[in-house]
Each structure stands twice: as C-alpha cells, then as structure tokens.
Amino acid sequence: MRVFIAGIDGYLGWPLAQHLAARGHTVAGADALLRRAWVGERGSVSAVPIAPVYERLAAFRELSGGPLPFSPLDLRDHPALGRALAAFAPDAVVHLAECPSAPYSMIDFRHADFVQSNNVSGTLSLLFAMREHCPGAHLVKLGTMGEYGTPDLDIPEGFFDVEFRGRRDRLPFPRQAGSWYHWSKVFDSQNVGFACRLWGLAATDVMQGVVYGSWCPPADPRLNSRLDFDEAFGTAVNRFCCQTVIGRPITPYGGGTQSRGLLSLADCLQCLTLVLEHPAAPGEYRVVNQLRDVLSVGRLAELVRDAARALGIDARIAAVDNPRDEAEAHHYNPDSEKLRELGFKPSAPIGAELRQMIGDLLPHADRVRAHADRLPPTVHWRRPQISSVPNPAEEGTRNERETAADHDDGGRGPHRPA
C-alpha cells in the first residue's frame, strides 16, 4: 500500500513511517517542521536527541533500502500539497500534521487562533486536495478522545442511538471539548464527516487517548523519535518519566482522580496500521476510539514511580494545583471495540513500557535537567497568563543556544504565531 503521512517528522509520524516500511508498505510524507519550532518557542527540547529531518531521511533510505519522498510543506499551502499528492498517488493518507497541545492553545488569543486556524484550515486543505488528486484514497485522521469530554454517560465510538419525542435516529455523540485545541479536533471531525457525505470520501477518524512511550531503535540514533517533557508538548506519562530521571517529583495535577484513555506508542502504531490495512468504505465516515487502558492520573503517577523504583531510582510523587479547568471526579467508560474486532492485541503491559521508557531516557537526563524549568505548569485555563517563558527573540538566550540543534532544521527560526 502507498501511504502518505502528513506530519511525518512528529512524535507519531516518524515511527509510523518506519513501522509501515517494515511491513512492506511504500511511504512518503510531508511536514513543515513546526513541532520542532513550537517546542523551541516554549524554551524546551526533546529529551531524546533527534536528527535533522534530512539526516532522518538518509537513515531511512540506508536501513529500509528505499527512498522516502518528502515534501517540506505546510498543509495550508494548498497548491504544494496538491502537487505532492498527485506525484505520489497514495492509497491512504494519514493526517498527523496538527498542533497537538491543549496547553499551547490556552496561552492567549494568538495561540488559540493559531492552533484552530492551523488545524482546521490544514485539514480542509487536505480534504479538498484529496478530492482533486486522490479521491479514492482512504483518509486516516488523528482525532482525540478529548473531543467527547467527560460526560456522565458511557462514550460510544462516534455515534449513538437517540430517541426524542417518539422518534429515533443514530447521531454523532455530543462533543464537549475542554481546550481550544480539543475544539479544533471537533471542528475537523465535522468537516471530515461532511466530506464523506458530500464527495464519497472514505475516512477513519481516530479518537486517540493519551500516548506514552519512547522510540529509540538500537540500529541507528537517527531513527529516534522525539520525546517532549515541557508543559505544553509533553504528555502526562512522558513528563512523569522525565521527572523521575532527574530526581524531580512526579506531578499529578489536583486530586489526580481525573481519568483518561491511554495507549503506548507501540500500540498506537499497531492500531493505525490495522486501520490502514482495513480501510473504511467509499463514503463511510468511520470513528474508532483508540485506547488501551483507562487510568486515573494519580494511578499513572504511582505506576511511573514504581517503574522508576524498579530501576533503582528514588522516585516520589508531589501533587500540584491543577492549572486546567477539568472535572476531577467523573464517570469515564469509553467503548473501544472496533480496533479489537480488527485484531488489536495490546503489546507489553504498561509497567514494562514505562521501564523501557525510563531506561531510554536515563542517558539523556542532562538534557532534561538543563530545561527543568520547563516542567512546572504556567498556563492556567481560567486566568490570564503571566508567561515565564524567555523571549526567544533575545539574542543569545540560554534557550536559543541549547535548543538550536533541535529546531534549526530547514533554516527556520522558532515559530511564533503571528
């Protein structure tokens, strides 16, 4: 199968390219390298060092025996996107090219506006480009479990049966997102569903839970995927593991009773591959809930502490005030049957994944330690922000010097929303 990955330089995109190639698929991709710039803008780096994109592509070519056609483009550059799709003629397009951070979107108007226009407009550009250049290709769009929020009902996979005033219908399950970022994914879902209905596009909208885990293939460090730990781009479990390797306490927010669906990076790759290899039908808008475990943040903190202790690290937990506006005591029971019906078999148990991740992080503890001031939360959902992030425009700031290796790719400076 010919798979075009939009967002191929990211945390999920780069391992997915390697995973699909190892299964015999032909891969191409696009990326505007914005994730590197956003993390740089926040004054941080990937804990695991990552190679510049053209070194990554060279490693891919040497190790997989074939080239990886790459377009350094922003999805909103509609003509360039069209040319890339027409040249590659994909059977499937995986769309990972969005700003994935709830905290980043909550900083201020500029960031909320940037995240929503980048995500919604980029997706719209992709939908129109697919209609013109590869109308038969299957779109696999990364959504989020956060679209549903935390309703006091079980959460079905996309749709549910409703009875109202004596009439019944099957309707989209209500979306109640909790950040400007999560709302951008809701708007995308509506647009993707509409394109399926209107043009007969085949699409799978993947409601993904929080992903954790490292990707450091022993064959070549140029194949490593990034692993962020800053407040905005590090997911909870990855942050917790980074905290343990520098002897900082693990920070569940608030009471730690808020629950989320989670899955490891390895499980994420397995699920995305299953979805690609079992495509939606033409005109079908399929929604899958992609998660493996439902756990509270407090329980996650304990699991990370125990994994670190098993490796001889004296890890401890210290809750901090919750900077977010989120329910802490709530019902949470999402369905996730469709992927299991397609054959999803969870890989290593969470404890083993955490020990692997902490082991991968230990050699890079100094990188985390040098940016430990990026760990505490500064973005508050309800009150105006007083940013403690240094101004990257100031020549010679510590953060510019230290992050240059990670985000000078493609000749870009740190991205600052206009």
Nearer to ligand USQ, 60 or 181 (CB): 181
β-sheet bridge partners, residue 141: 95, 205
In the chain, the amino acid numbered 402 is E
Distance CA 17, CA 57 (A): 10
Could you tell me the smallest distance in angstroms from the CB atom of residue 131 to ligand USQ? 26
- Spot the catalytic one: 104, 141, 144, 204: 144
Whole-number Å distance between alpha carbons of 61 and 205: 30
Number of helices and strands in the chain (H, E)? 14, 12
Structure tokens at 402: 């230290």
Which of the following is catalytic: 123, 148, 185, 204?
A: 185
Question: In the complex, what is the shortest distance from the CB of residue 400 to ligand USQ, in angstroms, rounded to a whole number?
Answer: 25
Residues in the chain: 418
- Helix axes 236-245 and 297-310, enclosed angle (nearest 10): 30
Cβ closer to ligand USQ: 129 or 236? Answer: 236
Does 148 qualify as catalytic in the annotation?
A: no
Nearer to ligand USQ, 10 or 279 (CB): 10
Nearer to ligand USQ, 46 or 235 (CB): 235
Question: Interface residues with ligand USQ (CB under 6 A)?
Answer: 100-102, 144-146, 208-210, 235-236, 239, 251-253, 258, 260-261, 297, 324, 326
Cα end-to-end distance, the chain, whole Å: 39
**Minimum distance from CB of 249 to ligand USQ (Å)?**
11
Is-catalytic flag, 185? Answer: yes
Shortest gap between Cβ of 160 and ligand USQ (angstroms)? 19
Gap between the Cα atoms of 160 and 281, Å rounded:
20
What single letter denotes the amino acid at residue 411?
Answer: G
CB of 188 to ligand USQ, least distance (A): 11
Q: How far is the CB of 210 from ligand USQ (least distance, A)?
A: 4
Q: Are strands 159-164 and 138-144 parallel, antiparallel or unpaired?
A: unpaired
DSSP per position, 114-153: HHHHHHHHHHHHHHHHHHHH-TTSEEEEEEEGGGT---SS
Contact 201, 134 (CB under 8 A): no
Q: Is 145 exposed, middle or buried (0-12, 13-18, 19+ CB in 10 A)?
A: buried
**Identity of the residue numbered 3:** V
Phi-psi region of 312 (alpha: psi -120 to 50; beta: other; left: phi over 0): left
The distance of closest approach from Cβ of residue 116 to ligand USQ in the complex, given in angstroms and rounded to an integer, is 14
**Of 11, 148, 181, 253, which residue is the catalytic one?**
181
| Residue nearest to ligand USQ as judged by C-beta position | 146
Structure tokens at 242: 């980074």
Please identify, using beta-carbon distances, which residue of 71 and 259 lies nearer to ligand USQ: 259
CA dihedral 403, 404, 409, 412 (to 10 degrees): 100
- Residue number, 9 or 400, with CB nearest to ligand USQ: 9
Instruction: Kindly list the catalytic residues.
Output: 144, 181, 185
